Amino acid sequence: MTDQRTHPNSYEARDTASIVHPLTNLKAHLEKGPLVIKEGDGIWVTDIHGKTYIEGMSGLWCLSLGYGQERLVKAATEQMSHLPYYHLTNHKSHQPVIELAEKLLEIAPVPMSKIWFSNSGSEGNDSAARIVWYYWNNQKQPKKRKMISHLRAYHGNTIASASLSGMHYNHASFGLPLEGFLHITPPHYYRNAHQDESEDAFTSRLADELEKLIQHEGPDTIAAFFTEPIMGSGGVIVPPDSYYDKIQTILKKYDILLVADEVITAFGRTGNMFGTTTMKLEPDMIVCAKGLSSAYLPISALMINERVFSAISDESSEVGVFGLTFTYSGHPVSAKVASETLRIYEDENIVEHVTHMEPIFLGGLHLLASHPLVGEVRGKGLLAGVELVANKDTKKAFDPKYGVGKYCADRAEEHGLIIRAIGDTIAFCPPLIITESEIKLMISRFNAALDDTLIMVRKSRYFE
Ligand SMILES: Cc1ncc(COP(=O)(O)O)c(C=O)c1O
């Protein structure tokens, strides 16, 4: 099932070790203390000592419109004074959430029927998993309960969404994943392809792996496949063009639902309103969060197509009530802010802006491909990963214990740039409002951090 475990440049060690860098463990955090941020403006944040940083990760991949969006503050303030709270259970609703649901259905990348609201990406994926089970029970196929997702995927941190995640650190010592949550090789050509394997042969092999897993487990037991159109926390992995076509053919063949986790990729991040469009997916459900409100308030939306909705509607009539809700689902203040966020995306032509910035951003990062530390530069839209390697020719990774990626991110912080080290991949996910000159400044600060890291790597003789 997991070919990469036997591959010489395997992620096995990285899955178990390097992603949890020593400095990210709790003891080290207590010793070092956090970077305490006081305020933000546009793409910039300032810490309590007055030092400013470019927020190159939009916080946790979420602050799409940056700081200081007065329209969002106004939307929240007004809603607070009119109706700070109402709920969506027992046949109740409110105007802000109705307006938001209608807008989301209008802009959905594939035909969708209903929106299910919750408060976070994790709850969105958790709800999707619950709805998948509900659906198959309605279809009189109660054995269809298993979920498949990618190793290195990140789908959240509730028990179900952490089980969907393919990260060692979300599972180890928590007794996860739950039974029936299965993981396949991530579609990362640079890292997981065999030597001399073409992209097409690589994606065929991964599709084959999926089909073998389905057959091994029994097609009548596989309920759904969850995927991030482009994997974020796993190291910004952009699947090869031919990947999803082959995967979706297999899912259709075995009647397996497809859930697109667009928690990072929705709302312009990849150069289209949805990653589903960028990667040519046809999901039954789509999970959105983060950029939905530009992170100004917590909210997530699960889009559900008619096939799934009509089944869960029938099933809930049988059961008597649809037993899935949260107190703050579709909170009116969050919903109002989300609707205003979607309006700003349109008014400011954010998707168009991203497509204009993409060549400056990815082109600028690609210029760094000749740097002695850089193995691969990958990305789409305003989302990118730069993987640092010990040997550019063999793609050999650094020993995770050296913490090279973390060292580089720390140097970037000294140069006034917040980025994220995922093992030795440096992730970039700047606010979508970033300008050409800000992108250039961000990349020059990163370049300085790379050069600092190179000095350390050479001194320490970490190259192989
Ligand atoms: C792709 C993806 N799905 C789900 C989640 C979980 O979202 P939340 O942290 O809002 O629960 C994240 C968070 O980073 C994510 O990146």
Nearest CA to ligand 1 atom 8: 121
121 C-beta closer than 6 A to ligand 1: yes
Distance 234 CA to ligand 1 centre (A): 12
Q: How far apart are CA 419 and CA 59, in angstroms?
A: 9
Nearest-5° angle of CA 121, CA 439, CA 351?
A: 50
Spatial CB neighbours of 253, under 8 Å, sequence gap ≥ 6:
none
Residue from 287, 204, 286, 285 nearest 250 by CA: 204
Whether 429 and 383 have beta carbons less than 8 Å apart is answered as yes
DSSP class of residue 42?
B
Distance 164 CA to ligand 1 centre (A): 11
What is the atom index within ligand 1 of the atom nearest the CA of 265? Answer: 1
228 C-beta closer than 6 A to ligand 1: yes
Kindly list the domain boundaries of the chain, sorted by start residue.
70-347
332 C-beta closer than 6 A to ligand 1: no
149 C-beta closer than 6 A to ligand 1: no
The tokens describing 220, both together, are: 């009548």
158 C-beta closer than 6 A to ligand 1: no
275 C-beta closer than 6 A to ligand 1: no
Nearest CA to ligand 1 atom 13: 156
Q: How far apart are CA 128 and CA 149, in angstroms?
A: 13
420 C-beta closer than 6 A to ligand 1: no
Whether 197 and 165 have beta carbons less than 8 Å apart is answered as no
What is the atom index within ligand 1 of the atom nearest the CA of 300? Answer: 10
156 C-beta closer than 6 A to ligand 1: yes
Q: What is the DSSP string of 333-380?
A: HHHHHHHHHHHHHHHTTHHHHHHHHHHHHHHHHHHGGGSTTEEEEEEE
Nearest CA to ligand 1 atom 4: 155
Q: What is the reported pLDDT for 4?
A: 37
233 C-beta closer than 6 A to ligand 1: yes
pLDDT one-digit tens code per residue, 338-358? 999 999 999 999 999 999 999
pTM: 0.95
Q: What is the reported pLDDT for 32?
A: 78
What is the atom index within ligand 1 of the atom nearest the CA of 61? Answer: 14
Which residue has 């309006």 as its token pair?
A: 343
What is the atom index within ligand 1 of the atom nearest the CA of 290? Answer: 10
Percent of the chain at pLDDT exceeding 70: 95
Distance 156 CA to ligand 1 centre (A): 5
122 C-beta closer than 6 A to ligand 1: yes
Q: How far apart are CA 246 and CA 290, in angstroms?
A: 29
120 C-beta closer than 6 A to ligand 1: yes
117 C-beta closer than 6 A to ligand 1: no
List of the chain residues with pLDDT < 70: 1-25
Distance 254 CA to ligand 1 centre (A): 28
Average pLDDT, the chain: 94
Whether 226 and 257 have beta carbons less than 8 Å apart is answered as no
Tell me which of 155, 161, 231, 296 to substitute to probe ligand 1's pocket, judged by most ligand atoms within 8 Å of the beta carbon: 155
Give the CATH number of domain 70-347: 3.40.640.10
The tokens describing 455, both together, are: 């000095």
Distance 229 CA to ligand 1 centre (A): 13
